[in-house]
Amino acid sequence: DFSKKAKEVNFTAVKIGSFRHADQECKKSPTIRSNSELIFNCNMELDNRNLLLKLNISAPDFNSIEAFQTGWKFDESVMQYFGWEAGKLPLQDSNFGLSQKKNGRITQLWLDEEGLTYSSNDKLFTLIFKVRNLQRLEKLLKGNDYSSFIELDESITSSKAYNRNIEEIGIVLNHR
């Protein structure tokens, strides 16, 4: 009797999301996607004395954003993740996934059910890295070869944001 045996099986599962109204969720229309992009401007500050590289992140079009998720990929031979500093965006340690930082990857997830808006000059947050190879980093900076040591990464989680209208928005990194 299959139903009897099934009751004896140990089973562990993880459901991410809500079970409420799951039957209605399946009947919904496909995701609404916007043609706009959330552009993260990355302004770099190199502290040669302390060997720290600060990546100040702002966004010229952070309008009514309720959530975003992204991954950050960095060259571990050049730098290692050191931490973050708050800007205008309310963040906490739990907004960052660090299980792969030794492999040059961190993830970030942020949400606010009200949807927040910031001006293009507002620093949202800062990622901080300890420089391991200053000579190589300076060479990359002089050559404007930023993507070879820091870029958005979708190997762990896709990079996307959602606005107050629940439209899906792509995320782009712009080095300045």
Distances (CA, A) of 116 to 93, 158, 173: 19, 21, 20
DSSP 8-state secondary structure symbol assigned to residue 18: -
Taking the C-alpha atoms of residue 157 and residue 173, their distance in angstroms, rounded to an integer, is 15
| Residue 105, both tokens | 């990857």
Quote the pLDDT of residue 168. 94
% residues pLDDT > 70 (the chain): 80
Amino acid at site 130: K
For the chain, what is the mean pLDDT?
83
- Least reliable range by pLDDT among 47-56, 111-120, 142-151: 142-151
The string of pLDDT tens digits covering residues 75-133 is: 999 999 999 999 999 999 999 999 999 999 999 999 998 999 999 999 999 999 999 98
Residue 151 has pLDDT above 90, yes or no: yes
Question: Using an 8 Å Cβ cutoff, are 64 and 98 in contact?
Answer: no
Question: Positive or negative CA dihedral for 57, 60, 65, 71?
Answer: negative
Question: Using an 8 Å Cβ cutoff, are 100 and 80 in contact?
Answer: no
Q: pLDDT class for 34, splitting at 50, 70, 90?
A: low
- Least reliable range by pLDDT among 9-13, 33-37, 108-112, 125-129: 9-13
| Cα–Cα nearest to 64, from 15, 11, 115 | 115
Quote the pLDDT of residue 136. 87
Global confidence as pTM: 0.78
Alpha helical stretches, state H, 71-154: 134-142
Quote the pLDDT of residue 7. 44
